[in-house]
Amino acid sequence: MADVFEVRQGTSPVILGLPHTGTDVPDDIRVRLNDNGLLLADTDWHIEQLYDGLLDNVTTVRATFHRYCIDANRDPAGSSLYPGQNTTSLIPETDFDGVSIWKDGEAPTEADTADRIARFHKPYHDALAAEIERVKAIHGVAILYDCHSIRSYIPFLFEGKLPDFNIGTLLGKTCDPAIEAAVVEITGKAQGYTSVLNGRFKGGWTTRHYGRPETGVHAIQMELAQSTHLATEAVPFNYDETKAARLRVPLKAILERIEEIASGLKR
> What CATH number has the domain bearing residue 63?
3.40.630.40
What 3-state class would DSSP assign to 200?
A: coil
Question: How many domains is the chain partitioned into structurally?
Answer: 1
- Write out pLDDT tens, residues 185-239: 999 999 999 999 999 999 999 999 999 999 999 999 999 999 999 999 999 999 9
Banded pLDDT at 84 (limits 50, 70, 90): low
pTM of the complete model: 0.95
Report yes or no: 56 and 120 within 8 Å, Cβ to Cβ: no
Q: Which residues pair with 63 in a beta bridge?
A: 5
Q: How many CB atoms lie within 10 A of CB 190?
A: 19
Distances (CA, A) of 144 to 2, 76, 154, 190: 25, 19, 27, 22
Query: Please, is 184 exposed, middle or buried when counting C-beta atoms within 10 Å of its C-beta (0-12, 13-18, 19+)?
Result: middle
* Residues of the chain above pLDDT 70, percent: 96
For all residues of the chain together, what is the average pLDDT? 95
How far apart, in whole angstroms, are the C-alpha atoms of residue 64 and residue 249? 26
* Amino acid 80: pLDDT: 64
Decide if pLDDT at 1 tops 50.
no
Domain region containing 231: 5-265
How far apart, in whole angstroms, are the C-alpha atoms of residue 198 and residue 201? 6
* Amino acid 230: pLDDT: 98
How far apart, in whole angstroms, are the C-alpha atoms of residue 70 and residue 93? 10
Decide if pLDDT at 155 tops 50.
yes
- Write out pLDDT tens, residues 27-74: 999 999 999 999 999 999 999 999 999 999 999 999 999 999 999 999
